[in-house]
Amino acid sequence: MPRTPAQSLRVAEKTGCIFRYALRLTGAIQGVGLRPFLYRTAASLNLTGYVQNRRDGVHIEVQGPWTALHAFLETVTHHPPALCRIDTLQWNEIPPRLETTFQILKSAQEGAPLPVLPADAAVCSECLREISDPLNRRYRYPFTTCVHCGPRFSIIETLPYDRPNTTVKSFPLCSPCLAEYQDPLDRRFDAQATACPACGPRLEGFDPRGNLLATDDPVLLQAAEMILQGKIVSLKGLGGFQLLADAAQEEAVARLRLLKDRDEKPFALMFPSLEELLKVVSPTKAEIACLQSPESPIVLIKHSFRDGQKQALAQNLIQGHACIGAMLPYTPLHHLLMQKIRRPIVCTSGNRGNEPISIENQEALHDLREIADYFLCHNRPISRPMDDSVVRVVDEKRVMLRRARGYVPRPIPLSRTLPPILAAGPHLKSTAAFSMGDQAVLSQHIGNLETAKTDEAYRRIVRDYLSFYRIEPEGVACDLHPDYLSSRFAESFAQERAIPLIRVQHHHAHVAACMAENRLEGKVLGIAWDGAGYGTDGTIWGGEFLICDGPRCERIAHLRPFPLPGGERAIHEPRRSALGLVREAGLDACHLSRVFSGNELLLLDSVIRQRTYAPLTTSMGRLFDAVASLLDLHHRCTFEGQAAMALENMAAQNAADGASSHPPDDRYPCPLIDKRPWIADWGPMAAAILRDRDLGLSLTRIAFRFHQTLAELAVDVARKASLPRVTLSGGCFQNALLLSLTRRRLQEEEFEVYTHHQVPPNDGGIALGQLWVAGLSRELVKL
């Protein structure tokens, strides 16, 4: 038994002697400057001992008078380096030794490498100060970085994380850089990506034919001029190429939309600084904290522009959207460029349509030559593609919408140890997941597996993680849908290696993902509301209430099914969902004759009667679409979720207009019929919505009532399930109002509500759920 600090103090007071502690730290501790920090702390307290990276964490032995040891522990636990996250700290008292210094020992090589790898981080304030200081040797140098900031995962090629294993290995350090790199008292000690103008990577500016136009600083000037002239510039960022255009120029935005084949989907914006951003929108404290965090994601922020009003942003950027996706510069390169442009720019991934983001100069010059007028490149290679992450803040808490740069590959701690598994993920917004002991690693967002290029990128990324972490999977998990490319990949992978394949139903995986990240064991009521997932009965699910318990799952309630004429085409035509809904409930809706031609109606009605091309669905996403069409918000849309977003915005206006209070009975009828599984009959609600519409009730009020009805539905089912814990998952919970209302109502009824924070509620989190279910399934659990 180690002595308690108090006992040690008493002994110390009696004997005045020296103590020695052995400590072990785990967490995000590699590549974050922990060792030099420990060295400096120990040296300042005149302590001796050593620190060493080992397979199971950072090991420290430290020796000296008790008061100094106490101060050391205090500093380590309460003031660690910026990017360091200590998960556990164990300490033991051990016999003192004869020694006179504190040393940083070489990493122990035995066993598997440390699995915790640092994610890329936004440039720190000290590095920013250096690049703005004309007297500093890194003045205006776009690749300035130190141990507290800069590229990590996007430059690592293999483990352990040391300079020779990164893409900067081809830049030998000059002598001043080497001196910093080797000096434990310097901020750049062991900063693997460190560089300076004399020895590091350089900027290169190309025209679309690949002619080199400039190098170094003039490249920034040329790129800034092009953007201000309304041209499109492709910039090589941290995790891949981006496309930039002046956010104030409609023509530039229109051209970018046309070339990227992106009619209305919102674009992310980069602002030169927080001050500039505050001139345009009013983010909350939590939103500002997200914007300024080392992860530096795109943050969705509500704006209050009125259509037609003149403002700093082009109309075709913001029209139809209640939020803008804003971010701040996160590399010195972005900062230097934005200082020249001094106004917001569109900053979107450098790819076409659904293809993966380009990471190599030649590839980008080829793939983007028809889109970009100028290429702001450099010669530091990117080791793997990584999009910008996207988050939203709901009730002051972060909701992840797209998890990539800044967050990946931070592991997700699990409540128990799983065998090594590969989870192949879903079809849309795909990611893959891997288990390593009691933690999971979720890959970056890869994209929709709909093109050969994305499929190829997906396979490359899966292989990358397997070899990187040296994982030998003992099982593979995939979706129940037989035709998903990810499912097919999983099948052949399992066959090749003769390991079990475990198929996990889509919504079960959604719930399991929420359980895994919240470390929930035992029974929960999982509410999974989303667009579409293949159900165990072969129909399309999406408005599901599941009782989940480890690998087991029972569907206890769902939306009343309705036909989707034309199947997947309904995703782009909310009017088809509306037609299915109206026909299923036998309602009289004159609006249909306005949104369909007579012939279309005849054809679609026969499709519905024959059922072959009108699959049944219980999808909540399609119910949102149907209601949006009934309210004439959208009959067609250019991206999935557009109609649902419009409905959310309508309802949010009602909530914001402060319709002073919203009694829970301000809802539509949506009774639960039958028995386990109960069926939530939206029929009476649809009828009431049409009636309210005809009576001329405001659309914002109707939209709000619709949201409130769903929150009350959650409460009704939760009462029937009578389990204390409820999880909320699925793409519909990207809807801030729905998430907020549902959570609040369930909490008011004394349920414990769990939601997503580390992984997205949308399909981007599915792989984690597949991993969790497979890991607990009988095929893999060793008895």
Which residues here bind Fe ion, judged by CB under 5 A? Answer: 530, 763
Among Fe ion, Zn ion, none, residue 530 binds (CB under 5-8 Å by kind): Fe ion
Residue 690: CB minimum distance to Fe ion, A: 29
DSSP 761: S
Nearer to Zn ion, 193 or 616 (CB): 193
749 CB-contact burial (10 Å; exposed 0-12 / middle 13-18 / buried 19+): middle
Out of Zn ion, Fe ion, none, which partner does residue 763 contact, by CB within 5 to 8 A per kind? Fe ion
**With CB cut-offs between 5 and 8 Å by kind, which of Zn ion, Fe ion, none does residue 481 bind?**
none
Return the number of the residue (474 or 530) whose C-beta is nearest Fe ion. 530
Closest CA to 193 of 304, 352, 83: 83
Residues 6+ apart with CB under 8 A from 592: 575, 578, 579, 582, 601
Among the listed residues 355, 374, 356, the one whose alpha carbon sits nearest the alpha carbon of residue 365: 374
Tell me the β-bridge partners of 392: 300, 399
Determine the residue type at 299: V
Q: How far does Cα 219 stand from its chain's mean position?
A: 32
C-alpha distances out from residue 24 to 52, 62, 200, 330, 515, Å: 10, 11, 35, 33, 29
Q: Is 293 exposed, middle or buried (0-12, 13-18, 19+ CB in 10 A)?
A: middle
| Eight-class DSSP state of 596 | S
Q: Report the distance separating Cα 189 and Cα 179, nearest Å.
A: 9
Which residues of this protein are in contact with Zn ion, per CB under 5 A?
Answer: 124, 127, 146, 148-149, 174, 177, 196, 198-199
Nearer to Zn ion, 196 or 346 (CB): 196
* Least spacing, CB of residue 83 vs Zn ion, in Å: 10
Name which of 296 and 770 has its Cβ closer to Fe ion: 770
Pairing of strands 552-559, 678-680: parallel
Tokens of 161: 């994380």
What residue is closest to Fe ion based on CB? 530
Q: How far is the CB of 730 from Fe ion (least distance, A)?
A: 5
Q: Which does 177 bind (CB under 5 to 8 A by kind): Fe ion, Zn ion, none?
A: Zn ion
**Contact partner at residue 462 from Fe ion, Zn ion, none, CB < 5 to 8 Å by partner kind:** none
Closest CA to 499 of 411, 416, 424: 424
Nearer to Zn ion, 32 or 60 (CB): 32
Quick one: angle between helices 598-610 and 574-585, nearest 10? 60
Q: Quick one: 127 or 421, whose CB is closer to Zn ion?
A: 127
Rounded least distance, CB 181 to Zn ion, Å: 9
Tracing tokens 């300079």 back to the chain, one arrives at: 163
Closest to Zn ion by CB, 167 or 700: 167
Report the residue number, 191 or 364, with the smaller CB distance to Zn ion: 191
185 touches, from Zn ion, Fe ion, none (C-beta below 5 to 8 Å by class): none
CB of 379 to Zn ion, least distance (A): 15
399 binds, among Fe ion, Zn ion, none (CB under 5 to 8 A by kind): none
Residue 439 structure tokens? 């933690």
User: 332 vs 615, which CB is nearer to Fe ion?
Assistant: 615
Q: Is 3 helix (H, G, I), strand (E, B) or coil?
A: coil
Instruction: Between 118 and 764, name the residue whose CB sits nearer to Fe ion.
Output: 764
| In the complex, minimum distance from the CB of residue 159 to Zn ion, in angstroms, rounded to a whole number | 23
Please choose which of Zn ion, Fe ion, none residue 149 contacts, taking the beta carbon within 5 to 8 angstroms, the exact cut-off set by kind: Zn ion
- Residue 146 interacting entry, from Fe ion, Zn ion, none, C-beta within 5 to 8 Å by type: Zn ion
Torsion angle defined by CA atoms of residues 773, 776, 779 and 783, in that order, rounded to the nearest 10 degrees: 180
- Cis geometry, peptide bond prior to residue 409 (ω within 30 degrees of 0): yes
Least distance from Fe ion to the Cβ atom of residue 525, Å? 18
Q: Which does 196 bind (CB under 5 to 8 A by kind): Zn ion, Fe ion, none?
A: Zn ion
Q: Which is nearer to Zn ion, 138 or 321 (CB)?
A: 138
Instruction: Quickly list DSSP for 188-242.
Output: TTT-TT---TTTS--EEEE-TT--EEEESHHHHHHHHHHHHTT--EEEE-SSSEE
* Nearest distance from C-beta of residue 220 to Zn ion, angstroms: 20
Q: Minimal distance in Å, beta carbon 531 to Fe ion? A: 6
Q: Concatenated DSSP letters for 368-417?
A: TTTT-SEEEEES---SS--PPPEEEEETTEEEEEE--TTTTT--EEEEEE
Q: How far is the CB of 761 from Fe ion (least distance, A)?
A: 9
In whole angstroms, how close is the CB of 753 to Zn ion at the nearest point?
39
589 CB-contact burial (10 Å; exposed 0-12 / middle 13-18 / buried 19+): buried
127 touches which of Zn ion, Fe ion, none (CB within 5 to 8 A by kind)? Zn ion
